[in-house]
Structure 1
Amino acid sequence: MEFNLLPTFRGNGNTPFPRTRYVANERWDGSTWVSYPVKKGKSNYLINAESFDLMDYYRAERGNPTPVREQESFLQTWLYFGLICQFIGANAVDGGPPTSQSKGIIDRVYDLIALQDDSGPFVRLDEDGLNSLRDIGLSLLSKEPEARKAHLDRMIVCLSCTQAILEGLPRDFNYMVKYSIASLGELYTQTVNVGLEHLQLPKTFSRMWSGGLLDADAKASMMEHGWCPSDIARAEVKYSSIQALYMMRMLGKCLPPRDHSRCTDDACNIYQIDPGNYQQTHQDCSCHELVVRDADLTSVLSKDEKFPILKFKGDMHNLDYDIVESGAYIAISHVWADGLGNPNANSLHRCQLSRLQETVKAVVKKDSENVAESEEHPLIWLDTLCCPAQDGPGKRIAIEKIRLVYQRAKHVLVLDLGLMSYNSKSQDWLELLVRIFTSGWMRRLWTLQEGALAQSLYFQFADQAVSLQWLADQLLASVKKSMRHLAIFPDLSREFLSLSSFFLPSASTPAGDNPALNTLDYALNFRSVSVATDEPLCIGTLMSLDLHEILQIDPKEKRMQKVWELIAAKKGGIPAELIFLDNKRIDADGWRWAPKTLLQVEIGMQKRATRMVHWQGSQIGKIDARGLRVEYPGYRLTRAQHGDQRPPNPWPGIPRVPEMWLQFRDVATMRWYRITDSHLGVLSLSWTTDEQRRENNEAGLFPLQDLADTGKAVLVMNSNSKERINKSVLATIRTDEGAIRVKTERHVMVSLLSEEEGYIYDVIGSLALRLRGDELTDQHLKIYKDLEELSEGRNDTLAEQMAGNQAFQHSLKALSEQMKNMVREVVQSDERFHAAIKTYWGESFAEDLWVLIKDFFSHNIQGQELEKEQVWFID
């Protein structure tokens, strides 16, 4: 990781850069890369001279695990030094011996990278070292296209194996050794794609190298250096490159000092303002507020395509303003929590405005070709003073014209206290860019549209304002000469696109069209707004919807319904897969399919970063009075019937097994499926003690089984493929003529069980049915019925009767023993059953399988597949 990009400001005391220790016990020998584990006894055989059997490597590790310290040594030699030598062409190929010059080249690699000082041996590969290795590779590798392609194909094999092995390393594996290898893999992945492009071949190779990079220690260090937990969570979702994430890990954000102790992974409380207790920033002076008269604003706003622009006059002590209706002006985009707003009136302290005027003058001067042309009193638009503060016609018109304001501004200047606390000239352009993209300004919803509308966007730092276009030019120029910048480019370019793609035409978004919903979702991810009803207004602006129609909706809480209606009208419908998004829904008839907000994302079993795929499905849902019309495969779920007079659960008194999932069997194919509750899955991942698990079990919650027992349960699946995991919804049917109308109850994952695991449940079911018809069951039910009759009109409950009755307790014990005997018998007699148990649950669980029998009738669910021509209405 020694060649990773680093910031100038690295936290309190400028956090030192950690070294990667040299832990290898032997040097790389120039072997064929894929054959090295076999040569060292870490794997049993190769597929062929150019292919590596990864599964054989895993099996060998499971059978004879390598101690962690030994594993660190082996993998540093193979996956680090061996990969470098593979990349530059120093390794043997096709299973042959190393070339005559390999040893000398490998010695040069070690001399360049493996170093030692008083603290011991370490690995260092900086930008100069990367360039030296590149030059060695260019001198060794053939320039013939076929030879180059063969070399790239071998690199793809090596990189694929390397990434897979790193993903499976134990937690106590040396962090720096692991991610030095991963960083190298990331650089080489990008370089391979450049090579494929030069050969005019598809750039189809990609791998994720940064998994787990921001571990608990990294996050603790970041929070110590001023990061908010939600900013760290956002970084993990928004950025996938090690170059970006490691730079953020080292980036200090201690200025200005802020207390993030009340913040969570989902939200930063620093930026949430309370209009009733808003605090304006104010210099230590005795100046008064400058008040802009509401009537002055409204008179201009009432004119077509006009809005008020301010021209200040006088010094700080007698500062006043004129309102003009045209001219080259700078629009201010600011974070209200920094103190430059006012939710109650169009007024600000004169000291703030005087300082703002000087800041804007510096931008005008910087931009002007002729300094003499820059005005002493530049024109400024600031929402706090130019948009009426009180609800009414003036404020509604001002909001409708927000788009015009930011589109027509010569420049939009961003004021963010976190950026203004650092000098730009002390940082390189990349650090400035990373600071901007991780700033508080990037976390607010209003600022998204302000930045997206801008023709020219400047960010104010402590010493000067920096143009975003200039930073973009630096990024584009750097990727042509630096492997490290090439690796970070995809992450940063996505952030640029999240600002520019709404209003600047591109190949994917022609002029006059509005952007795709997945673009909107990406841009809104981790943004927030203090007033929830402002979200529809911002989305309306970004999606070029009719703001007048949205603003006419009263009460304001119903504006999101109008947003979805307008989006559907503009796009010809709504992507149907949004019903599988685990979002808060609008609670109104016909709208319960619609997300109430795109800002507050529910944490489901799928990663937050995967949300975008649900906006890209081919099926378009249609809105009508009953809801959203979609067509998806699914099942009706009902409890299986057994054709006897016994109750559904024939063994009352036997405690139910805590619900972790729900099985059901397809009545046509007799294959078993498992439904996993998304909420419970996330909850279980948060448990850190057995006590938490016990508390959940003792609560006795069975939401999936309870829904299936209603007889109205429907499983809606997002794919016709039954062979893979499906994100689905478990819903309840509502009566409707000519269609099935359902209401989402739970978000779930559905997976097809293997034939062997399904066989386990087949056998358990047959044993349960056998015991169901046994006289032990009938005797038990008779005792239970007698206790029911005795408990009528008595003070003690039926539960107390069962607990105190010896005959009933004896019956329970007899049933349990019978279940255990049945399991022992089938384990001993059925080899297929015994083998399946060992494969899926382990030998030790065989003795406890009787618990599956006792609970079988609590969730003996069957699924009737829906006909494809049936129409669905998701309400």
Structure 2
Amino acid sequence: MPNVSADMPPRPEFTPFTIPYLCISKPYDGKGFWTYPERHGWIIHAKDKKCHVLCPPGICRDGSLADSRTRVQSPILSRINGMPVTASDKVEFLQAWLFFGVLTEVSALCGLELDVEAEFIVDNGSVSTAKLNGLPGRWFAAAMKKNRAGDHAFMEHILSIVRHAILMLSEEKAEDHTRIFKYTYAECRVLHSLDITARIVALHLLLHVYMPGFTVTDENGWGRQRILKSVDWLYRECEGMDQLSDIVETELTEKGWCQSEIDLLASDDLAFASLLTRPRIRDHSSCGDVICNAYQTDEATYVTRHVQDGCSCKFVGVPASLLVNALSQNKVPKLCITGQLELRVVMEDNYPYIAFSHVWADGLGNPLTNALPRCQLRRLRDYANKLYRTHNPAPTSESADLPVALWLDTLCIPVERSAVAYRKKAIQLLGKTFNEADAVLVLDRELEIVESAAASFLELGLRILCSGWMKRLWTLQEATLASEAHNITLLYFQMHDGPFLYQKYDRNRRALQRVNERTTEVQAEERSLLLDDGMMLELGAQLPSVGMMRNMRQGWSPFSVIYSAIEHRSTSKAEDVPICIASLLGKDLSTIISGADVEQRMANFYVLMREVPLGVMWCEGPERLSIKPFRWAPLSISACPPTTFMGWEDCVCDSAGLHVKYGGFIFAESEEERHDSKAILPHVIDMVSAETGGVLGRLSDLPILERREITLQRNLAVIVRHDDHSGMHPAAAIVVVEDTVEVDGGMQLTEFVCRIVGYMYLWSSDRDPGTGVRVHATAVDQMWCIT
């Protein structure tokens, strides 16, 4: 984390924003929180059941942690005079009560003298949420002075306020599930501020629970889960949030955000994303809903950038012979940048170095030679030195006197045509390069303008998730290998105020320092209240750990983890995809790199994986390899539906093809087949047993799918899938058997060698008769080799 000076305020809990002062004509009167509605002509219908410790406000779940879509019944409130409640009336009243009223009441209970209007009303008459940040610590410090810290009765009083606020913010829907109120953007933001206020109060309560000696459990009435389940639970629907996300989604599109970024974000994330300033947004007009193409580069037109536009300083390079010398000895070539901005290659195994991960589209690449402008070398040297001091505040005596080295692909992977073999060697050593680095620093032009110490963790997560760096394939490998090297996190992001350590959570709570010195590591409950848990899960899916990919839990497939990680990433060279994935999985890259093109590399990749999810065989959509025996294999894993890799048994891939064990049917030769080799398989087929004459099942197309004509030819067969997912996808693969082989030694088992020619859906036979085709049923574990 960047060093935070003593006079700098704590990191904000939420990104601040301003909202209209809607209740200015009917402000909170300060005469009591609970009786405020009645004094101002409102009737509150929703009641907090308080039935079990872990039940959310207004909902009974028998004290279970299990979540359901139970909702609070409407109406939540009405007018005493019987007048209808309008959206604007409701928001105006709730702002007075649940913003100004909650802040006034909680501050009074804690003993904090808080001038609410002075702190929250800004010069233009609007309301700012900025001063909500830091309030949990201020309230806690005041409560400590009043000897109320950890007092159960005191905490119960505050929790009842939080729960009631959350209850009042429950989304109101009619019996047909349509929204009762339609809010303007400003009104949605006001409701958003009320939800944040409730979360701020709950964060304050957590500080009491974290105190030493506070050991009362959830079951006995207090604890972290009780606080969390009062504010944040699965399927909780906050009034106005869905409408706000719809509005800001359109706003983000108009601002030029990539649609692939927008589609990644949940409703809460969208609400905060629209508050961010992004002065360096690229042209995303050619991007899709999943893949961003704005960071693709073309070597023929690529221009290496200087630090400042207009700079014309000279380039300084590394002779390819020096890089080749290191790589030929299986060494990672590191570079020391001297005071005169000259480059010196070092090969010692234990020499300290910083590895850089960057996006070529930002201009730090060079496809022609291993050289960069002097201004860039100066910047890289300064970044490396600062990060090394940050990461190693107390360096060992052996490394204290050594100038720190660095590794950057532009400088350390040879690009000369005469060194192609050593370029491949450098790529093979990428795992070693990033795993052995003292730390890895991410460079992204958009992130480098962010003051990280002044940003909430949610904001930082949003910026990292939407950065150009996260959209590129090779950065996945670099980040993943760095994140678990030596069982410690080594991945930093260069921000304007210094390097930010990924997943390093330092809340900087000064109020707690006097209690238990606990100032690091955000707890799971805090992350949920800070709306950061979803962002962490998304970042974790796109930056999976090495352990997750190389040591799969039983029933998991590495393909599923890989899919989540690469789904939104692009590369200028498709042949790089299998190299990157194989490296992440710790596979031998030599067989991948030996492939002449992307198809051969993908074929080598599948053989290297050996165990392939059976769902790949049933995946209709993606383009497949054209080379035998891999005509079943998707050319791109990311083009497959995610369910392709989830929950299905694996089959075996080797140089002969894809080996599966499934039941099926062999078509009996027909008179039509003998005389008309161009006959087309009907759209609906009853499979009739050649032995008994009974109907064994019906094959059919679905109208929504584009018909792939299947010729009724010799040796036609059907492989039938039986699993939980067969209702969502075609359950029958139509194949042509091209050969049979005897396998498994003396067992005399027959394997059908075949190729897939189409897919159909399989139904039970209790339907009106269709066109019949005689078939022979195979064994339920018939062996097939798909080529």
TM range (shorter): 0.5 to 0.7
Aligned partner (choices 296, 302, 310) of residue 322 of structure 2: 296
Q: What percentage of residue pairs aligned between the two structures are identical?
A: 23
Measured against aligned partners, the alpha-carbon deviations of 1:318-346 in whole angstroms (never above 9, x if no partner) come to x3434443410111111111111112211
1 CA distance for matches of 2:130 and 2:405?
A: 53
Structure 1 gaps, min length 5 = 9-14, 35-47, 61-68, 85-111, 144-151, 153-157, 603-607, 643-648, 650-660, 681-701, 766-858
2 CA distance for matches of 1:716 and 1:141?
A: 63
* 1:585–1:594 contact (8 Å) kept in structure 2: yes
Corresponding position: 1:578 with 2:581 = no
Measured against aligned partners, the alpha-carbon deviations of 1:294-339 in whole angstroms (never above 9, x if no partner) come to 11111111114x12111112435xx343444341011111111111
Q: Secondary structure at the match of 1:344?
A: coil
**1:832-871 mapped onto 2 (5 Å cutoff):** 867=778, 868-871=780-783
Corresponding position: 1:485 with 2:505 = no
Q: Secondary structure at the match of 2:447?
A: coil
Change in 2 beyond 3 A, CA 1:662/1:576: same
Q: Secondary structure at the match of 2:442?
A: strand
Corresponding position: 1:321 with 2:350 = no
Change in 2 beyond 3 A, CA 1:481/1:733: closer
Aligned partner (choices 4, 15, 28) of residue 7 of structure 1: 15
Corresponding position: 1:412 with 2:440 = yes
2 CA distance for matches of 1:741 and 1:544?
A: 31
Deviation at 1:422, TM superposition (A): 2.1
**1:541-580 mapped onto 2 (5 Å cutoff):** 541-555=583-597, 557-568=599-610, 573-580=611-618
Counterpart of 1:525 in structure 2 is 567
**1:788-867 mapped onto 2 (5 Å cutoff):** 867=778
Deviation at 1:752, TM superposition (A): 8.2
2 CA distance for matches of 1:709 and 1:208?
A: 54
Change in 2 beyond 3 A, CA 1:335/1:120: closer
1 CA distance for matches of 2:13 and 2:426?
A: 44
1 CA distance for matches of 2:243 and 2:474?
A: 32
Measured against aligned partners, the alpha-carbon deviations of 1:828-862 in whole angstroms (never above 9, x if no partner) come to xxxxxxxxxxxxxxxxxxxxxxxxxxxxxxx9688
* 2:541–2:564 contact (8 Å) kept in structure 1: no
**1:593-672 mapped onto 2 (5 Å cutoff):** 593-599=632-638, 601=639, 611=642, 613-624=643-654, 627-632=657-662
Q: Cα RMSD between the aligned structures?
A: 6.1
Q: Secondary structure at the match of 2:546?
A: coil
Deviation at 1:620, TM superposition (A): 1.8
1 CA distance for matches of 2:242 and 2:755?
A: 37
Structure having the higher helix fraction is: 1
Q: Secondary structure at the match of 2:543?
A: helix
2 CA distance for matches of 1:746 and 1:72?
A: 57
Aligned partner (choices 699, 707, 715) of residue 703 of structure 1: 707
**1:130-149 mapped onto 2 (5 Å cutoff):** 139=156
2 CA distance for matches of 1:214 and 1:862?
A: 57
* 1:413–1:459 contact (8 Å) kept in structure 2: yes
Counterpart of 1:269 in structure 2 is 293
Counterpart of 1:732 in structure 2 is 734
Deviation at 1:410, TM superposition (A): 0.4
Q: Secondary structure at the match of 1:269?
A: coil
Task: Write the letter of the residue equivalent to 1:321.
Answer: R
* 2:245–2:270 contact (8 Å) kept in structure 1: no
Measured against aligned partners, the alpha-carbon deviations of 1:492-542 in whole angstroms (never above 9, x if no partner) come to 0452365352158998669xxx98332222111201111111111111110
* 2:719–2:735 contact (8 Å) kept in structure 1: no
Aligned residues: 628
Aligned partner (choices 502, 511, 521) of residue 468 of structure 1: 502
* 1:675–1:749 contact (8 Å) kept in structure 2: yes
Task: Write the letter of the residue equivalent to 1:265.
Answer: D
* 2:297–2:572 contact (8 Å) kept in structure 1: yes
Deviation at 1:428, TM superposition (A): 2.8
Task: Write the letter of the residue equivalent to 1:565.
Answer: V
Counterpart of 1:227 in structure 2 is 257
Length-normalised TM-score, structure 1? 0.58
Which structure has the bigger radius of gyration? 1
Deviation at 1:463, TM superposition (A): 2.5
Q: Secondary structure at the match of 1:380?
A: strand
Task: Write the letter of the residue equivalent to 1:28.
Answer: I
Measured against aligned partners, the alpha-carbon deviations of 1:110-160 in whole angstroms (never above 9, x if no partner) come to xx9xx9999999x9998979x99x9999738999xxxxxxxx9xxxxx99x
Task: Write the letter of the residue equivalent to 1:489.
Answer: D
2 CA distance for matches of 1:721 and 1:183?
A: 43
1 CA distance for matches of 2:424 and 2:637?
A: 23
Deviation at 1:734, TM superposition (A): 0.7
**1:95-110 mapped onto 2 (5 Å cutoff):** none
Q: Report 1 or 2 for greater relative contact order, CA contacts < 8 Å, sequence distance ≥ 6.
A: 2
Deviation at 1:448, TM superposition (A): 0.8
* 1:301–1:397 contact (8 Å) kept in structure 2: yes
Counterpart of 1:251 in structure 2 is 276
Change in 2 beyond 3 A, CA 1:413/1:311: same
Deviation at 1:370, TM superposition (A): 5.0
Change in 2 beyond 3 A, CA 1:405/1:671: closer
